[in-house]
Structure 1
Amino acid sequence: MTAHLPEPATAAHPPEHLMTSPPPKRVTTSVLTAPGAVPAAAGSRTGGDVLVRALAAHGVTHAFGIPGTHNLEIYRHLAAHGIAHLGPRHEQGAGYAADAYARVSGKPGVALTTTGPALLNIAAAIGQAYSDSVPLLVVSPGMPLRHPRQSTGLLHEMRSQTEALRGVAAFSHRVSSLEEIGAAVARAFTLFRTRRPRPAHIEVPLDLLTAAGEAIPDRAAPAAGPAPADADALAAAAGALRSAARPALVLGGGARRAAAELLRLAEELSAPVVTTVNGKGIVGETHPLSLGVSLHTRAVRHWLGERDVVLAVGTELAESDLWDAPLTLGGTLIRADLDPAQMYTGLPADIPLVGDARATVRALLAHGLTAAGPGARPAGPDPGAVHRSVAALRAERDAETHERDAHLRPYMAAIRSVLPADAVLTSDSAQCCYYGALPHLPVGPRGRYLHPTGFGTLGYALPAALGAKTADPGRPVVALSGDGGLQFSVQELATAVQLALPLPVVVFDNGGYGEIRDEMLDRGDRPTAVDLPPVDLPALARAYGGHGVRATSPDALATALHRALTTPGPTLITVPEEPSR
C-alpha cells in the first residue's frame, strides 16, 4: 500500500521548540522536533545512530513519541536521517497516532518511548494495533545490559519490559549488541511485509544507545512480493463461485488493498457485499450491491445463512465483527486470508485460500468466473433484481434499529453532506460511532473510517486524527467521539493546536458513558459511576488555543463543520444529547 506522504518539515510548518525543566521524569517536546545531531567519533556510530539509521533505511519518515532521560540518544539522530517527529501529550496518544498514520499512509507507524511508565502507557495502543492488524513498531530503551535482576532503584526500573510487552505485541525483542539493532529492525519490517501485520516492540539497553562501534553493518528486510493462494485451492474456489446461484462477499480490513478487484468480482457475480467495521467503505456504501456494515443485524445474518456460496476476505468473522453469536451458514464458505489460522478459527473454511488478498482475488478473476464453456457459470440473476433485493434488505436492516438510531441519522447525514469523498473519519468506542456513523454515514473507497475494533479502546479518535493528518496534511480529517471517550485523550487538543492544521472534533455529549449506562439498566441495575459532571468542552478547546462551538441541530452541525474544515487548528463541536435512557 502506498500513499502520498508529507515532507518531514516544510516552510509552512516549521519545527517549534518548547523549553522544559530538566528531568527527573519525562521531558515534553514540540509537535515537530528536529534536534541537532551530535556525531560520535569519526568512523564510529552510537547505538542510537545505528537504530535511527536502520529505521530510515526501511522508509521511516515520521515518528511519534515523547523524549525522556533514557532515549535522548535516539532523538539526537532523528533529523540527520530525515525523520520528522510529532510529540503528543501522552504515550497512549502517540501509539494511536502512529496506528492511524499506518492505516492512512500504508507504511508502518513508529512510536518512541522512554523506559518504564512511558512504555506501559503505550501498551493499550499496542493492544489495539494487534487487534486490528496494524503495523506498529514501538521502540524504547531498556535497563543496561548487565543490570542486576535484583531491583536497584534505577529511574523507571521495572522487572521486565519485554515480558510485559509480549502479552500485547506480536513480539518484544531486547537486543544485546550494536550489531543486533539493525537485525531487530529488519525482523519487524519482515513481519510487516510478509505476515499478518501486527505490532512489534524493540528494546535497546540504554548503555547500548550511547555505546559506539565501528563498521556496524546495515541490515534490511528482504523484499517480498505478495503471493496468491495455492493453485488447487484457487481452482476449487473459482469453481464454487462460478456455479453459485446466490453468492455473497464478506469483506474485512485485510481486503482493503484489493478494493478495485473485489468491486469487479462483486459486479461480475452480481454478489451483494457486507463488510466488517474495518472493511467499511472497501466497496462504496452507496453502491447498489453494498449492505454496508451490517453483520450484526438479524436481517443480514439470516440472509447470509441462505447464500449458497460466501467468500469472506480478510476478516476473522469474530465476535467483534458480529456483535453476537457466530454466524450459521448453509452454503460453502471460502475464506481468503494472509493468516493461516483464520482457516480453522471461528467458522472453518470449506475452501481455504491462504495468501495476499489482492493477489488472490486477481487470480480468482483470471479463472474467468463468467466465461462460457464447460463448467461455466449458468446465467446469473438479473442485476436489477439483485439491486432491488439489496435495497429491500437495507430497509429491513434499518427497521431493526430505527428507534434507537433515529436521533443520530440526521446528524450523520449532515456530516456526510459536508465532507468530500476522500475524507478520513476517526472514531471512538462511542454510541454516536457504532450506532450512528458505522451504519448510517456512508463511506467509499476514496475515504477512510478508522475505528478501534476488537480491543475496543477509548480515547482513540482524537490522537488518531493527528496521525491521519500527519500522513496526509492536505486531506480532510474529522474526529468523531463521545464525551466520555474524548476525556481519555482530550489533552491532545494541545498537540492539534501546534499542528495548526484544520481538524474538526465532533463530540456527542450524553453526560457520561452512555453504552455502559444502558447495559446497567438492561440488567436491572442502578446506574453507577456512569453519569459524569458536565464539562464545557468548547471552552476547554479554547483554553488549549483552539476553537469550540455547540451545534444543537443537524443544520448547525453542518455549518460548524464546514467552517472548521478551513479554520487552522482544532475546532471542537459539541452536539448535546439527552441520555439514551
Structure 2
Amino acid sequence: MTDTPGVVPDAAPAPDPLRLTGGEAVARALAAHGVTRAFGIPGTHNLEIYRHLATYGIAHTAPRHEQGAGYAADAHARVTGEPGVAITTTGPALLNIAAAVGQAHSDSVPLLVVSPGMPLRHPRQATGLLHEMPSQTEALRNVAAFSHRVSSVDEIGVAVARAFTLFRTERPRPVHIEVPLDLLEAAEPVGRVRTAPPAGRRGAAPESVERAAALLARAERPALVLGGGARGAAGPCRVLAERLGAPVVTTANGKNVVDERHPLALGVSLHSPAVQKWLATRDVVLAIGTELAESDLWSELPPLQGRLIRVDIDPAQMYARHVADVPLVGDAAATLDALVEAVGPRRPADEDALVEAVGPRRPADEDAHDETATLKAARDDETHRRDARWLPYLEAIGTTLAPDAVVTSDSAQCCYYGALPHLALGPDARYLHPTGFGTLGYALPAAIGAKAARPDRQVVAISGDGGLQFTIQELATATELRLPLPVVVFDNAGYGEIRDEMAARGDQPVAVDHARVDLSALARAYGGRGVTVHAPGELAAVLARALTTPGPTLITVPEETA
C-alpha cells in the first residue's frame, strides 16, 4: 500500500491509561515498597483500601483499638527494621492512634498511618458529615514528621514514596497520609508506581571522623553512651569500646545494643547518680544516636568536664541540650565503621620500652572491667530497697528466655525501675520500651506486633496492672492469632508511681488506688489462659509453658509478693 501525500497513515490505538481507585492505589503503593502487613480497623470510610490489601499480598492484623494498632505497627517496625503501617478510618479513629504516633515520634520509629479524610471539596463550614473534624492534617502534623493530604489518585503514590524516602534517608519519624474519601472510591488515571530511591545513609565527613579519632586516641578516661540510633552500629560500637577500654552506658532505647553481659557494659544506667557523676568526670564522651534526654537521665546531666563527641543522623542534635565539641552528622553504622578504622588498635608507642623498664603492667581493659563492675554495684546499691521486690522475678524471666527473645514493656515501675536496668537478656535479644513520650498501654499490643513480625522468636510482654488496662482488650487479638504470648503483670492495684509521688509531696493519695481486678479470670474470658504466681520459681515454670502454648497467657504477680 502506498502512502497518499497529505494523509496520515492509520496508527495503532494508544492503550487506555491505567485507572485505579484511590483504595487500590494505596495498596499498590504500599506493596511496591515491600509492605507485607498492616494493622488497623475497618471503618465506613476506609473499606476501599481493605478491599485491595490481599490482592497486593498485604496481610492484616486487626487489634481492638486504633491505639493498639499503632503500638503493634511500631513494634513491628522496631523488630524488622522496616516501616510499620497502620490504617485507620476518619475522625475519632485517627485521634485514637495519635498517642501511638507521638510515641513513635519520640522514639524515632518509622511508622506510616494511612487514613481517609473529608472529601476534596468539603466546605470549611461544618456540615455534620460522619467523623467530621476541622482538620485531621493539622492534628497529625503536630505529632508526626508530616501529614500529607493528597489531591488526586495519582498523588497517592507520590505521598507514599515521600514517606519511604524520609524513612530511608533521614531520622525515622512517623508520617500520616490522608486520602479524601471521595478519592478512595474514584477511579482515575495513574502513572507508573512511584518508589522511594534505595538511597543509603552516608557517614559523617572524613575530616570530622579524623578529629574525633584523634581525640579518642588521646583519651585517658573515655566513655560511650549509646542510644537507639546506635542499634545499626552494634558491632563497631563494641569494637571501639574494647579498643578504647571504655565502659558503655545506654539509654532505654539503646538497651542491649552492646550485650549487657559484656564486662564493659553498664546497661541502662544513665538515671543512676553514681553513673552520672562518673560520666561527668570522663575526659572524652562519645554519644551515639541519643538525645541525652531527661527521659533517660530522670534529671539534667551534670556538666561534662571533658569533650563531647556526638554521632547522629539528625543535625539538630548537635546543638540540643548538650552541644557537641566534635559533631559527627551521618548514619551511625557508616560513621562508626570509619571511626573504628581511624582509631586503629590502641597500643602506646612506648609500651615495649615501658615493659622492659618496669615489667608488665595491669592491662587497661582489666581496669575498665573493674570500674564497670564497681559502677554497676553502686547503681544497684542506690536503689536496692526499691528494686529488690522485682529482681528475683526478673532473674526468673531472664534465665527462661532464649538468647534472641523480644521483650516489650510499659511505662510502669516494674519496667523502668526493674526490667530496664536489671533484666539480663541474650546477645541477640530486643527490648522495646515507650521512652520519652511515655505512653501507657504499650506492652501488650507491641508484643502482638513483634510476634506477628517474628513468629519464630519468643516474645514476652511485661506491664503493670494500671498500664495493662489501657489496652487489655488486645488479649482478644492475641487469642485470635493463636501464637504463644506470655504477658507478665506486676499488680500493685493502681498507679504505683503516682501514688509514690503523691506520698513524697505529703499529699493524700487521690485516684491512684484501684480495686483489684481478677486479671486471670479476665484473660480466660478473652479466650487465653490466666495464672497467678507467688514465687519466682512458679513464674519460671509458668513462663516456660506459656512460651509454647498457643494464645496469650496472662501471668499475674501480686505486688505484695513481688
TM-score over 0.5 for the alignment? yes
Cα separation, 1, equivalents of 2:300 and 2:561: 28
- Counterpart check, 1:187 vs 2:162: yes
Mapping 1:211-360, distance limit 5 Å: 211-360=186-335
Cα separation, 2, equivalents of 1:375 and 1:122: 61
Offset of 1:327 from its aligned partner?
3.2
Offset of 1:370 from its aligned partner?
2.6
Counterpart amino acid of residue 531 in structure 1:
D
Distance of aligned partners of 1:212 and 1:576 in 2 relative to their CA distance in 1, 3 Å threshold: same
Counterpart amino acid of residue 212 in structure 2:
A
Cα separation, 2, equivalents of 1:472 and 1:172: 30
Match of 1:204 in 2: 179
Match of 1:46 in 2: 21
Counterpart amino acid of residue 394 in structure 1:
K
Cα separation, 1, equivalents of 2:445 and 2:350: 53
Deviations 1:453-481 (A, max 9, x none): 00000000000000000110010000000
Distance of aligned partners of 1:509 and 1:207 in 2 relative to their CA distance in 1, 3 Å threshold: same
Cα separation, 2, equivalents of 1:333 and 1:169: 30
1:561 to 522, 525, 543: 543
Cα separation, 2, equivalents of 1:161 and 1:381: 60
- Counterpart check, 1:68 vs 2:50: no
- Counterpart check, 1:96 vs 2:98: no
Cα separation, 2, equivalents of 1:542 and 1:473: 22
Offset of 1:579 from its aligned partner?
10
- From the CA coordinates, give the structure whose radius of gyration is larger: 2
Structure 1 SS opposite 2:38:
strand
Distance of aligned partners of 1:167 and 1:325 in 2 relative to their CA distance in 1, 3 Å threshold: same
- Counterpart check, 1:145 vs 2:120: yes
Deviations 1:2-45 (A, max 9, x none): xxxxxxxxxxxxxxxxxxxxxxxxxxxxxxxxxxxxxxx99421
- Counterpart check, 1:441 vs 2:414: no
Structure 1 SS opposite 2:249:
strand
Cα separation, 1, equivalents of 2:211 and 2:151: 48
Counterpart amino acid of residue 389 in structure 2:
H
Counterpart amino acid of residue 408 in structure 1:
W
Deviations 1:541-574 (A, max 9, x none): 0001000000111111111101100110000000
Match of 2:527 in 1: 545
Offset of 1:407 from its aligned partner?
1.1
Which blocks of at least 5 consecutive residues in structure 1 are unaligned? 1-40
Offset of 1:369 from its aligned partner?
3.1
Q: Is the 2:405–2:426 contact (alpha carbons within 8 Å) kept by the matching residues of 1?
A: no
Q: Is the 1:270–1:381 contact (alpha carbons within 8 Å) kept by the matching residues of 2?
A: no
Q: Is the 2:153–2:190 contact (alpha carbons within 8 Å) kept by the matching residues of 1?
A: no
Q: Is the 2:276–2:301 contact (alpha carbons within 8 Å) kept by the matching residues of 1?
A: no
Which blocks of at least 5 consecutive residues in structure 2 are unaligned? 1-15, 355-360
Counterpart amino acid of residue 116 in structure 1:
G
1:82 to 32, 57, 77: 57
Distance of aligned partners of 1:460 and 1:244 in 2 relative to their CA distance in 1, 3 Å threshold: same
Structure 1 SS opposite 2:52:
coil
Q: Is the 2:447–2:460 contact (alpha carbons within 8 Å) kept by the matching residues of 1?
A: yes
Mapping 1:351-500, distance limit 5 Å: 351-370=326-345, 382-500=364-482
Give the percent of matched residue pairs that are identical in Structure 1 and Structure 2: 69
Distance of aligned partners of 1:375 and 1:488 in 2 relative to their CA distance in 1, 3 Å threshold: farther
Cα separation, 1, equivalents of 2:264 and 2:156: 49
Offset of 1:443 from its aligned partner?
2.6
Cα separation, 1, equivalents of 2:362 and 2:538: 47
Cα separation, 2, equivalents of 1:141 and 1:252: 35
Q: Is the 2:29–2:160 contact (alpha carbons within 8 Å) kept by the matching residues of 1?
A: yes
Give aligned pairs, total. Answer: 540
Match of 2:4 in 1: none
Where in structure 1 do 4 or more consecutive aligned residues deviate above 6 Å? 372-376
Q: Is the 1:430–1:481 contact (alpha carbons within 8 Å) kept by the matching residues of 2?
A: yes
Cα separation, 1, equivalents of 2:516 and 2:377: 37
Match of 1:535 in 2: 517
Higher helix share: 2
**What is the TM-score of this pair, normalised by structure 1?**
0.91
Match of 2:12 in 1: none
Cα separation, 1, equivalents of 2:426 and 2:169: 27
Q: Is the 1:510–1:579 contact (alpha carbons within 8 Å) kept by the matching residues of 2?
A: no
Counterpart amino acid of residue 314 in structure 1:
G
Counterpart amino acid of residue 468 in structure 1:
A
Cα separation, 1, equivalents of 2:345 and 2:216: 9
Match of 1:165 in 2: 140
**What is the TM-score of this pair, normalised by structure 2?**
0.94
Structure 1 SS opposite 2:120:
coil
Offset of 1:517 from its aligned partner?
0.2
After TM superposition, the structure 1 stretch with the greater mean CA deviation from structure 2, 87-96 or 383-392, is 383-392
Cα separation, 1, equivalents of 2:249 and 2:117: 45
Q: Is the 2:67–2:99 contact (alpha carbons within 8 Å) kept by the matching residues of 1?
A: yes
